[in-house]
Amino acid sequence: MSRSRRLQRLVSVFRAFFDESGNDRRRNRALIMGGFVGHVDEWLKIEDAWDDCLHQHPRIEFFKHYECQSLSGQFWKFNREQADQKMLDLAAVISNFDLQGLCAIVPHALGDIDKASRKYARGAAKAYDWGFITATKMTFQWMEPQPDGEKVDFIFDEHSALRFNIENFNANKEEPFLRDYMRHAGTCTPGKDEEVAALQMADLLAGEFSVEGETQVRSEALRIIGTRNDVGYLRCEPPAQHMRMLDLLTFGSVLRGEVGEFLKLQRQNLLSPEEAHERLANLFALEAFVNLQRKRLVEFLENDPAYQEFRKRYIEATGIDPMVLSAEDSEELS
């Protein structure tokens, strides 16, 4: 048996593996979610070749792009030339097999809502979320020629935001409006790139694509990968209401936090009548501001042709008007 951890062939005959790079919004202009999709049989063949290349002198046990770049971890005994050559040798392994490379580009300028607001979000709130959405979208587009019965399983490298996205992914499979879009969706699970060769390949692709985005120079590793395998890329384009919704969620989170703090101090009798009156006045002012932001969002949606077309199709598919907030939703945003 190969030294690498073998993939077990299940029902799905296609697998897509993704890893992200460019996470630091202070240093990187965009997050890159990169990876490969291919037939399970092709993945099984590539593992032995990848494992053999890893263990050729100078030997490493697994590949991490940032360790290769910084000469740390597995590459701590390497010099720059040796590390670069090892990455080129691994890129050559990828080029020998039939895989489709995919890279999602998510500019950090799209913005993130604060951590406290995230639990109230109904959709993407972080750059990682949009990377996940765009990567799965590209994979489904690649799967379009396949018969409806064919599924693709997704494996993403472990990340703190992955659980949230897997929950949304599974919920979307049950959403009537998304039935056709998700028809090729198999499972979606986390993996460790130290253990899964295909995630190491995804890491190499995402890392080098991120470097190209920052330097505007195509690396030799990407050129080698592209000699046989096409690498498609797509810039994330969130809906026009995205930033407005994030603002509303953030302001709503601040209001909830302020209300909670006020009630806590009141229960502990730590506020004088004057202080309580001042805090209440501030809370009412903040509530008015949140309600104004909600009103502006609704007005924007009512006058946005793209959203109204989506609204029409959603009502036809589900019988539910997305413009009508339930009492529970309205309470959460207030």
Q: Tell me: do 61 and 185 sit in the same domain.
A: yes
Reported as a single tens digit per residue, the pLDDT across 200-242 is 999 999 999 999 999 999 999 999 999 988 899 999 887 777 7
Count of structural domains, the chain: 2
Q: Per residue in 125-140, pLDDT tens?
A: 688 999 999 999 999 9
Give the model confidence (pLDDT) of 176-199 as tens digits. 899 999 999 999 999 999 999 999
Question: Of 206, 235, 264, at which residue does a domain stop?
Answer: 235
Say yes or no: 157 and 255 in one domain: no
Q: Which of 185, 206, 235 is the last residue of a domain?
A: 235
Give yes or no: residues 171 and 115 share one domain. Answer: yes
* Residue span of the structural domain in which 302 resides: 242-333
User: Do 70 and 140 reside in the same domain of the chain?
Assistant: yes
Q: Is the peptide bond before 58 cis (omega within 30 degrees of 0)?
A: yes
DSSP SS3 for 71: coil
Domain final residue pick, 218, 235, 252: 235
Give me the chain's average pLDDT, please.
87
Q: How confident is the model at residue 166 (pLDDT cuts 50, 70, 90)?
A: very high
- Amino acid letter, residue 158: E
- C-alpha separations of 306 from 93, 197, 302, 310 in Å: 44, 41, 10, 6
Q: What percent of the chain has pLDDT over 90?
A: 62
- Residue 326: the pLDDT is 38
159 plus 269 within the same structural domain: no
Residues 201 and 312 in one domain: no
pLDDT tens by residue, 80-115? 999 999 999 999 999 999 999 999 999 987 765 444
Are residues 219 and 250 located together in one domain of the fold? no
pLDDT for 322 equals 81
In the prediction, which pLDDT does 319 show?
85
Does 320 map to a domain? yes
Is there a domain that residue 60 lies in?
yes
**Assigned domain for 9 exists:** no
228 and 263 co-located in one domain: no
Would you call 295 exposed, middle or buried from its count of C-beta atoms within 10 A (0-12, 13-18, 19+)? Answer: exposed
Task: Assign 12 a pLDDT band (cuts: 50, 70, 90).
Answer: low
| Residue whose C-alpha is closest to residue 64's, from 129, 158, 171 | 158
User: Residue 296 falls within a domain, yes or no?
Assistant: yes
Is residue 26 classed exposed, middle or buried when 0-12, 13-18 and 19+ CB atoms within 10 A define those classes?
exposed
Domain at 79, CATH number: 3.30.420.10
Q: Are residues 260 and 202 in the same domain?
A: no
Q: Looking at residue 11, what is its pLDDT?
A: 53
At residue 9, the pLDDT reads 42
Strands (E), 124-204: 152-157, 185-191
Residue 263, domain member (yes or no): yes
Give the model's confidence band at 293: pLDDT under 50 very low, under 70 low, under 90 confident, else very high: confident
Same domain assignment for residues 96 and 224: yes
Q: Tokens standing for 187?
A: 């499972």
pLDDT of 124 reads 63
Provide the 10 A C-beta neighbour count for residue 195.
11
User: According to the model, what pLDDT value does residue 112 have?
Assistant: 58
136 and 153, same domain (yes or no): yes
Residue 167 lies in a domain: yes
Instruction: Give the CA distances from residue 28 to residues 15, 31, 127, 150, 211, in Å, rounded to whole numbers and listed in that order.
Output: 29, 7, 12, 37, 9
86 phi and psi angles, rounded to 5 deg: -60, -40
Q: pLDDT: is 155 or 292 the higher one?
A: 155
Is 4 a member of any domain?
A: no
Question: Can you tell me the distance from the alpha carbon of 84 to that of 88, in angstroms, rounded to the nearest whole number?
Answer: 6
| Same domain (yes/no): 208, 282 | no
